[in-house]
Structure 1
Amino acid sequence: MRKSGSGRAGGRASTVLGRRLGGELQQLRLASGMTQQQSAEYLSATATKIVKVESGWVPVRDPDVRALCQLYGVTDGKVLAGLLDLAKTDRERRKVRGWWEDRTLPNGQVDYIAMEDAALRNRQWQVALIPGLFQTAEYTRAMGVADMCWGDLDQLEAVVSLRARRQQRLYSDTPLQMHAVIWEAALRQRMGGPAVMKSQLEHLREVAELPNIHIQVLPFRAGGHAGVSGPFNILSFGEEGAVDVVHMDAPRTGAWVEDAERSALFVDMFNAVSRTAVSPYDSMRLIEDIAKGMSE
């Protein structure tokens, strides 16, 4: 697990996808008993290159991925295909100058926003808040005031503007596929007061009508569930199961789960929470009832 935030070495960026690719190549190398020097000699390169590859500092070419997999004795075609997919997505991400790069981002959000922008799908479990991509401006402002982490209103308005810009992805020509499961507590918490919360719940019902949005509610009556450990997002970049990275929110920061084995555990957790939640239709009826109950 790594704290969020982009690292830099030698002028090159270390990305979440690059670190995951490097980590998986490192695991394969260690399992094969090879040293970094042996790997470097096989590629006719220096050991420094292998260090940078395994740390995610540099993009990795497909021929190098294939050669290293051959050296490490990888015979599973799915493993090779997954690594090639990861390498390609990482290279494409590094080439793009995102709209967010001209902004001063709070709380080290560069990695997350870059990954969200590149992702094809987002599976999100939320326990206390409405997912950011579904928040109204008034809800975001109320949340920022309650959080007490902004020095002035200009900083808070920058957060509101940033969130609104991220939300455009839901309506783009290649919209983000979003499946969110929200605990009932997040719907009943009167963030900003009854009027703000009622408007937020009505907005939630509106976005649920988009074909790329799938919203479920986990009601109180469900009792114990698989998501008690806290909220997380699963970002996917290729075909089903091809590349998944997990982001977990924490106070003032966040953390990434980048290895395949641990990210698979979060996928299983999300699927379990989704099965426990009520259907999208019943979720909308519950949201309607809660909205009607909001009064001054």
Structure 2
Amino acid sequence: MAVGTTRAKRRLGRHVKPIVERAGLKPAEVAALVKTSKDTVNRLLSGDHLPRYPTFLAIMTVLRATEAELAEGTALWERANVDAVVVEHASTLWSGYLRFRMDEGEATGERSLDPALIPGILQLGEYAEELGRRSQALTAGKGWTAQAAAERRERQRLLSRQPHPLQLHALIDEAALYRTVGSRELMARQLTHLLTVGAQENVTLRLASFDAGAYGAHFGALVLLDYPEPDEPLSVYVESYNGTRVVEDKRAVGMLTAIWEEAAQFALSREQTAQRIREVRDARYG
């Protein structure tokens, strides 16, 4: 069973929470009736922990869940009890980034906005390794630089996943094309890689050009993840010096979604983007 929070555990927590509220019981009161700890109940509701099934069944019983609620809860518990996504090199990843990787592995769609660098899912291994060497204080431990290329390749396999490849709509600030990471030769290969991946049917690659002026994402990269279930809220992640973190406040989620949509409104088209990337590659790194 996956350690820590997973999307399936959070779905289960959202299912149980209104049943607790309807019962008029506090988590500590539920715990006392079930003869378990308050932390167990709280972590079930937050999606941070999956209790053993007998404990879960006892919780649903004291809450007087209906047969339909118990059946749905059991199905969600069984889903959460299975490792939905296995992330290689997990020990080298920050907890926030690991959560992002697990969510990304279950997502059907990803919208990203990167104001400074090529997005991770589009980075060549050499590009990622160079970033690791230049920012060792921000990586999650020893060995990350050596494993960065493999980690990026693992993410990129989502774009060719069958039968449902990840649908990627990446907005990249034009400045990322001019920020030389590694050698000029590496940047030429990286931009060629962007053109190759950007030609895939499930990938939409667009530039926030210099001509568009300022926009709301100059504070770090932004990723929005969509899921197949119609009732599942999107996941919003932002990057900063403190690493990757999830944003759960509804107001903040709405604001960040609006920032992405505004940037998309003024971004170059796919065709214009491909032409600009070729021009920069040939003029600056050719």
TM-score interval, normalised by the smaller of the two chains: 0.7 to 0.9
1:162 corresponds to 2:151: yes
Return the offset for 1:236.
1.4
1:81-124 deviations in Å (ceiling 9; x for gaps): xxx89x95x86355126442575323333212211111111111
* Equivalence for 1:229: 219
* Equivalence for 2:269: 279
1:52 corresponds to 2:43: yes
State which of 257, 272, 278 in structure 1 corresponds to 2:247: 257
1:181 corresponds to 2:171: yes
234-243 vs 278-287, which moves further: 234-243
Matched residues in 2 for 1:234 and 1:94: separation? 25
* Equivalence for 1:105: 92
State which of 122, 134, 142 in structure 1 corresponds to 2:110: 122
Matched residues in 1 for 2:5 and 2:87: separation? 15
State the one-letter code of the partner of 1:92: R
TM-score relative to the length of structure 1: 0.74
Q: CA distance change for structure 1 residues 153 and 39 in 2, over 3 Å: closer, same or farther?
A: closer
Matched residues in 2 for 1:271 and 1:206: separation? 25
Higher relative contact order (CA 8 A, sep 6+): 1
**Contact 2:44–2:50 (8 Å) recurs in 1:** yes
Matched residues in 2 for 1:218 and 1:91: separation? 43
**Contact 1:225–1:276 (8 Å) recurs in 2:** no
45-54 vs 103-112, which moves further: 45-54
* Equivalence for 1:132: 120
Q: CA distance change for structure 1 residues 151 and 293 in 2, over 3 Å: closer, same or farther?
A: same
**Contact 2:88–2:151 (8 Å) recurs in 1:** no
**Contact 2:121–2:152 (8 Å) recurs in 1:** yes
* Equivalence for 2:129: 141
Q: CA distance change for structure 1 residues 148 and 219 in 2, over 3 Å: closer, same or farther?
A: same
Matched residues in 1 for 2:140 and 2:223: separation? 28
206-215 vs 95-104, which moves further: 95-104
Matched residues in 1 for 2:235 and 2:142: separation? 33
Partner of 2:181, secondary structure, is: coil
Partner of 1:100, secondary structure, is: coil
**Contact 2:113–2:172 (8 Å) recurs in 1:** yes
Partner of 1:214, secondary structure, is: strand
Q: CA distance change for structure 1 residues 22 and 183 in 2, over 3 Å: closer, same or farther?
A: same
Partner of 1:179, secondary structure, is: strand
Root mean square deviation, CA, Å: 3.9
Identity %: 22
Partner of 2:239, secondary structure, is: strand
Partner of 1:95, secondary structure, is: coil
* Equivalence for 1:7: none
Aligned residues: 268
- Which structure 1 residue ranges, 5 or more long, are not aligned? 1-10, 72-79
State the one-letter code of the partner of 1:232: L
